[in-house]
Amino acid sequence: MKKQDFILIVCVIIVLAPFFIPATGFFEWFKSATAAHPYIMAFFKFAILATLGEMLALRIREGVYNKPGFGIVPRMMVWGFLGMCIAMAMVIFKVGVPAFLESVGGCERGSLAAIFNAVEFSWGKLGVAFAVSVLMNSIFAPVMMTFHKCTDIHILDNGGTVRGLLRPMKMREIFATKVNWDVQWNFVIKKTIPLFWFPAHTITFILPPTFQVLFAALLGVALGLILALAGGSKK
């Protein structure tokens, strides 16, 4: 373990400690803030956790958590924006998929939604959660993942600066010549979505609403590690 790894572990412990110390009241504040400001909280959850996942991926590939041009701040800005989009998508699909299933199956209106939103676990809740996960990850995730890949390339092409992030993206050039579609399609979309995201987000939608976006952001850390291991490491 290097010094940089030790520093990261200490920082993570410092950040997480208030959640487990009732006297701080941080956990209650977290729940109330998430309920009152879901999209602002989603911004910060993804900005911090998903960016951490990318830093861990860089650590595995190249032995460092940051390097010139990597652009931690621009990546946090992009992930924060995507976090709000993901929070929005979760609301849309959590409401829309049960309604869709009711219309297809001829169920009483609101019956599946009631099962899905019940506090107690049931096999019906698991089934609806799986359907929500499958449809959200089949419709929304490929677009989101491809957009994120384009922003990733854009950040690197512009030296990892905030000013560079704000420059117009050369989408045609990025799509045509810079995205590795063999990896993006054959691994990121075809493999991680059904094998990782379908079951992972099924678990997400079973959790209490307060923790769903947080858990989704934590999954970003896990995916960063998966992508790093799939791509191989240099050090």
Q: 113 and 98 in contact (C-beta within 8 Å)? A: yes
- Whole-number pLDDT of residue 22: 78
- Whole-number pLDDT of residue 109: 84
Q: 224 and 50 in contact (C-beta within 8 Å)? A: yes
Question: Is the residue at 220 inside a domain?
Answer: yes
- Domains in the chain, number: 1
CA–CA distance from 108 to each of 104, 113, 132 (Å)?
11, 10, 18
Question: Is the residue at 209 inside a domain?
Answer: yes
Q: What is the pTM of this model?
A: 0.90
Q: 185 and 10 in contact (C-beta within 8 Å)? A: no
Question: Is the residue at 27 inside a domain?
Answer: no
How far apart CA 92 and CA 69 sit, in angstroms, is 36
Each residue's pLDDT, cut to its tens digit, for the chain (235 residues) gives: 688 888 888 888 887 787 778 778 888 888 899 889 999 999 999 999 889 988 988 888 888 999 999 999 999 999 999 999 999 999 999 999 999 999 988 788 888 999 999 988 899 999 999 999 999 999 999 999 999 999 999 999 999 999 999 999 999 999 999 998 998 899 889 999 999 999 999 999 999 888 888 888 888 788 767 766 555 444 4
What is the secondary structure of 35-91 as a DSSP string? HH-HHHHHHHHHHHHHHHHHHHHHHHHHS-S--TT--HHHHHHHHHHHHHHHHHHHH
User: How crowded is residue 94: how many other Cβ atoms within 10 Å of its Cβ?
Assistant: 19
Question: Is the residue at 1 inside a domain?
Answer: no
Question: Is the residue at 195 inside a domain?
Answer: yes
User: CB neighbours of 5 closer than 8 A, spacing ≥ 6?
Assistant: 59
Question: Is the residue at 117 inside a domain?
Answer: yes
Question: Is the residue at 32 inside a domain?
Answer: no
| Domain containing residue 56 | 52-231
Residues 133-157 as b or e (16 or more Cβ within 10 Å = b):
bbebbeebbbeebbbbbbbbbbbeb
User: How crowded is residue 10: how many other Cβ atoms within 10 Å of its Cβ?
Assistant: 10
Residue written as tokens 């009241």? 25
- Whole-number pLDDT of residue 233: 44
Question: Is the residue at 171 inside a domain?
Answer: yes
